[in-house]
């Protein structure tokens, strides 16, 4: 039985087969794993002396749960299998398609990365699962906020969540300058750094410089 399994068993079967035997098993585990603290030792000694009184056992069980969370209940970083891919999240429309084809895609390809836009992929099953999978497999996500599409914010949120799990994905927020000035982006990201561009050539110049910096 691994240390992780031992600790889980002590938590799941607290005070079994008896309070006295359980507390000695807890003490042995903490000694074996060098996890004991002054607080834990005090609780253990009180339980040895007085048994299951004054909530000593409940306090020790709570302490063991905290120990489990610190040692073992960590979020695992999803594996990355497509390290040369950049995911592009943006509004689907005729004018934005031109921005993608003549702006985003050539810049990404010029830096030796593959551009991924979910509507270009053939797949079966859940589109949400595909989106999450492709974002997880990308080194960066570009979220163009032009149009304030909910799906774009959702996809940017997935990247933010991955970053909290220490995933190395980079998040780049962009927006057309005229849309940003006239319509505004969502309040939650209005204070974030957003690459603003006037047209395709302006986007290409600014995005190339930014990606070269963050993807070194």
Q: pLDDT for 193-216, tens place per residue?
A: 999 999 999 999 999 999 999 998
Query: Has residue 53 got a pLDDT over 60?
Result: yes
Tell me the C-alpha distance between 90 and 44, whole Å. Answer: 57
Query: Has residue 17 got a pLDDT over 90?
Result: yes
For 87: left if phi > 0, alpha if psi spans -120 to 50, otherwise beta; the answer is beta
Tell me, what's the pLDDT at 79? 58
Tell me the C-alpha distance between 63 and 59, whole Å. Answer: 6
117 and 90 in contact (C-beta within 8 Å)?
A: yes
Tell me, what's the pLDDT at 164? 85
Tell me the C-alpha distance between 169 and 161, whole Å. Answer: 10
Q: What is the pLDDT of residues 135-180, one digit of tens each?
A: 999 999 999 999 999 999 999 999 999 988 888 899 999 999 999 9
């Amino acid at each position: 039985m691994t240390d992780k399994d031992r600790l889980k068993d002590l938590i799941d079967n607290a005070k079994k087969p008896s309070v006295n035997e359980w507390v000695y098993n807890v003490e042995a585990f903490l000694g074996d794993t060098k996890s004991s603290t002054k607080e834990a030792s005090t609780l253990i000694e009180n339980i040895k002396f007085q048994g299951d009184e004054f909530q000593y056992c409940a306090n020790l069980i709570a302490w063991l749960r905290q120990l489990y969370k610190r040692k073992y209940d960590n979020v695992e970083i999803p594996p990355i299998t497509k390290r040369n891919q950049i995911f592009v999240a943006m509004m689907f429309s005729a004018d934005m398609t031109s921005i993608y084809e003549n702006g985003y895609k050539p810049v990404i390809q010029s830096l030796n990365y593959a551009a991924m836009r979910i509507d270009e992929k053939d797949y079966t099953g859940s589109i949400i699962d595909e989106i999450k999978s492709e974002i997880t497999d990308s080194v960066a996500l570009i979220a163009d906020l032009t149009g304030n599409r909910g799906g774009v914010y959702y996809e940017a949120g997935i990247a933010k969540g991955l970053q909290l799990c220490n995933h190395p994905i980079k998040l780049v927020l962009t927006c057309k300058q005229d849309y940003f000035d006239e319509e505004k982006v969502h309040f939650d990201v209005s204070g974030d750094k957003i690459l603003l561009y006037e047209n395709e050539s302006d986007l290409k110049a600014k995005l190339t410089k930014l990606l070269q910096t963050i993807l070194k």
